[in-house]
Structure 1
């Protein structure tokens, strides 16, 4: 399929597809006239890229996942299953972090500010600092695990 057709199907601009090509996320063949020709399976690859970026994965991380797919042929279900195992693990970690953030956003997030009245209850004497810097109750253990 031509790059314009791929752009129409994915909703990406032609320049975005070229960018993803430079990052190794898609690898088109060239016809005799030097024009890019993409596999229909590149729709799925680029859809995966868009979803993964929306979820906060970097281009480098996404490229690492896609390296597990074959070049020059459409990936099979088994190919996608193989890369999905690692991706699923990372996605589960992100979901857990997002869930903690959602659940604790209106309360103490363990940042160490000690400026909220509730910090004395949730994070007395800034105990969260023992497990590292940043918002420990979101990216680290729950408040009860710090005692």
Structure 2
């Protein structure tokens, strides 16, 4: 049942959450199945989300946009309090937890930005002739695919 204080409802339907967040209801249901957000159920089995779910959905979307895997996002969200709306201090703590990981991602993206044109432009793509990025094709021995950036973007 929605809690009402001062004439304002403190829960959102899936449609309201979707409209406010810009995220499709199907994505919200997926986030719920993945344990990223949670909803209460009405007697008619309809979902009701606390208003602070808007911040969680925004965090999920921004994190996904920069390539953070859902498992890491879930761990971060699990560190936030569940019995109350997260405070500025809670979000600051989460930010400190992610700072070094985000700095590593930024460095990897800068490296990709700076070297991608030269790497793709030379046409070797990890062949023995690339003395700049992969001398003697040492990365070819470690497996297929883009070896240099794979470790950074999949953690």
Which interval holds the TM-score relative to the shorter structure? 0.7 to 0.9
Match of 1:4 among 2, 15, 35: 15
Alignment of 1:65-80 (within 5 A): 65-80=76-91
Alignment match, 2:51: 40
- Deviation of 1:3 after TM superposition, in Å, equals 1.1
Number of aligned positions between the proteins: 135
**Which of residues 25, 28, 33 is equivalent to 1:17?**
28
Q: Please tell me whether the aligned partners of residues 28 and 37 of structure 1 are also in contact (alpha carbons under 8 angstroms).
A: yes
Does structure 1 residue 90 correspond to structure 2 residue 124? Answer: no
Partner of residue 145, structure 1: none
Give the corresponding residue for 1:144: none
- In structure 1, stretches of 5+ residues that fail to align are 141-147
Q: Check whether the contact 1:9–1:43 (CA below 8 A) recurs between aligned residues.
A: yes
Relative to structure 1, is the Cα distance of residues 43 and 128 closer, same or farther in structure 2, using a 3 angstrom cutoff? same
C-alpha displacement of 1:27: 1.1
Superposed displacement of residue 126, structure 1: 2.3
- From 52, 67, 72, the equivalent of 1:61 is 72
TM-score by length of 2: 0.73
What TM-score do you get using the length of structure 1 for normalisation?
0.76
Partner of 1:126: 136
